[in-house]
């Protein structure tokens, strides 16, 4: 049954259609049970008690699907990798040895991790930019769980968390953004600095320490203390909307100042995807980034934006092995990845220009 989750392509088929610049919105809440030590300081038996208690508390929550509840130990290495690549669980949880678990929602846009760094990490993901919808859902989940368990909460500090960087709201709100215009115009460093100054972090597609292949960046709040959830989200939302405008401006300028070079890049990306027989993830992501951009520029049909978003996930090493039905060495993965991409872009039209 768990195979359904692995094989399902839910990153793009559910929810609104893929839109330019903003790929997805995510909010996660860190919560801990009052009567147990944080996972990092707990005995295995205590961790197991937390796991059982949480699973029971969530069993009847309507938004969740208890048949998609699973212990991390029961997942193979490949299955864990797949979930990481789908942004459903963290790399940290995938490395945990014992007494950790996950539960998914029916539409698979929510995933709750148990005994990661905190007892509970409640997260909701949604394509596009839509904080209010995502907040409503994560807040409802949080309330439902709280009606069954007792959270560690301090009147002054707010929610208590294993790491002080999460103290207070325990909330991390983030958006995945596609910023090729800012990257190509070499403005990204400046933008990262400005965004950091506002108290927000900028990371790559796979979070902390990952690189920005495909010009995809994850932007999130760093502060969790001393500000309400609503205030944090409002500030972040404003910053992101400004960022969208900057990206749009950068794209327009690139097209005006050196349109031919841009068209050359986009068109060659299509050519490479149609013709490659060996390709590594990083190059594939950079090509897919150009496909997304081409769709935004109306150089390719809109549907290729969603195709690119789906491929960003499906070309990852775990997904390539899942599709092959077996573990595959890196060289052979590059070959299978190329076959997949050739097939997906076989019918993509080349960019046409007049002059």
Q: Which residues bind its own copies (CB under 8 A)?
A: 260-261, 263-264, 267-268, 270-272, 274-279, 331, 335, 338, 350-351, 353
Q: Is 225 left (phi over 0), alpha (psi -120 to 50) or beta?
A: beta
Q: Residue 16, class by beta-carbon neighbours within 10 Å (0-12 exposed, 13-18 middle, 19+ buried)?
A: exposed
CB of 47 to its own copies, least distance (A): 46
Tokens of 173: 């709100």
CB of 183 vs its own copies, minimal distance in Å: 19
How far is the C-alpha of 338 from the C-alpha of 341, rounded, in Å?
5
Residue closer to its own copies by CB (options 208, 264) is 264
The answer for residues whose C-beta is within 8 angstroms of residue 77's C-beta and 6 or more apart is none
The three-state secondary structure class of 159 is strand
Question: Which residue's CB is nearer to its own copies, number 62 or number 277?
Answer: 277
Shortest Å distance, C-beta 285 to its own copies: 17
Q: Within the chain, how many helices (H) and strands (E) appear?
A: 13, 10
Long-range contact set of residues 206-210: C-beta below 8 Å, sequence gap at least 24: 206/84, 206/91, 207/90, 207/91
The residue among 146 and 264 lying less far from its own copies, judged by its C-beta, is 264
Q: Least distance in Å: CB of 260 to its own copies?
A: 6
Closest CB to its own copies among 219 and 338?
338
Distance CA(277)–CA(284), nearest Å, equals 12
- C-beta of 61 vs 328, nearer to its own copies: 328
Residue nearer to its own copies on the CB measure, 245 or 261: 261
């Amino acid at each position: 049954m768990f195979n359904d989750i692995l094989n399902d392509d839910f990153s793009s088929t559910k929810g609104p259609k893929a839109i330019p610049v903003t790929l997805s919105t995510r909010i996660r809440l860190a919560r801990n049970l009052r009567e147990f030590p944080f996972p990092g300081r707990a005995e295995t038996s205590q961790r197991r008690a937390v796991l059982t208690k949480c699973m029971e508390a969530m069993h009847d929550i309507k938004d969740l699907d208890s048949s998609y509840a699973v212990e991390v130990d029961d997942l193979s290495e490949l299955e864990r990798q797949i979930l990481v690549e789908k942004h459903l669980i963290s790399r940290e949880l995938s490395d945990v040895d014992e007494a950790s678990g996950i539960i998914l929602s029916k539409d698979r846009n929510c995933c709750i991790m148990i005994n990661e760094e905190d007892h509970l990490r409640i997260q909701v993901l949604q394509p596009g930019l839509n904080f209010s919808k995502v907040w409503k859902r994560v807040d409802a989940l949080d309330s439902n769980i709280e009606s069954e368990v007792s959270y560690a909460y301090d009147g002054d500090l707010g929610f208590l968390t294993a790491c002080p960087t999460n103290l207070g709201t325990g909330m991390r709100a983030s958006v995945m953004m596609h910023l090729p215009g800012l990257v190509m115009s070499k403005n990204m460093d400046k933008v990262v600095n400005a965004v950091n100054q506002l108290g927000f972090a900028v990371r790559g597609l796979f979070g902390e320490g990952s690189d920005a292949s495909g010009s995809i960046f994850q932007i999130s709040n760093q502060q969790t203390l001393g500000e309400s959830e609503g205030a944090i989200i409002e500030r972040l939302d404003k910053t992101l909307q400004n960022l969208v405008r900057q990206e749009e401006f950068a794209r327009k300028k690139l097209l005006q100042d050196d349109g031919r070079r841009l068209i050359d890049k986009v068109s060659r990306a299509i050519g490479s995807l149609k013709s490659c027989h060996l390709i590594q993830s990083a190059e594939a992501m950079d090509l897919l980034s150009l496909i997304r951009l081409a769709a935004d520029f109306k150089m390719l049909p809109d549907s290729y934006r969603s195709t690119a978003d789906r491929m960003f996930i499906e070309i990852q090493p775990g997904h390539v092995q899942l599709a092959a039905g077996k573990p595959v060495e890196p060289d052979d993965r590059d070959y299978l990845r190329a076959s997949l991409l050739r097939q997906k872009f076989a019918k993509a039209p080349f960019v046409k220009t007049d002059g």
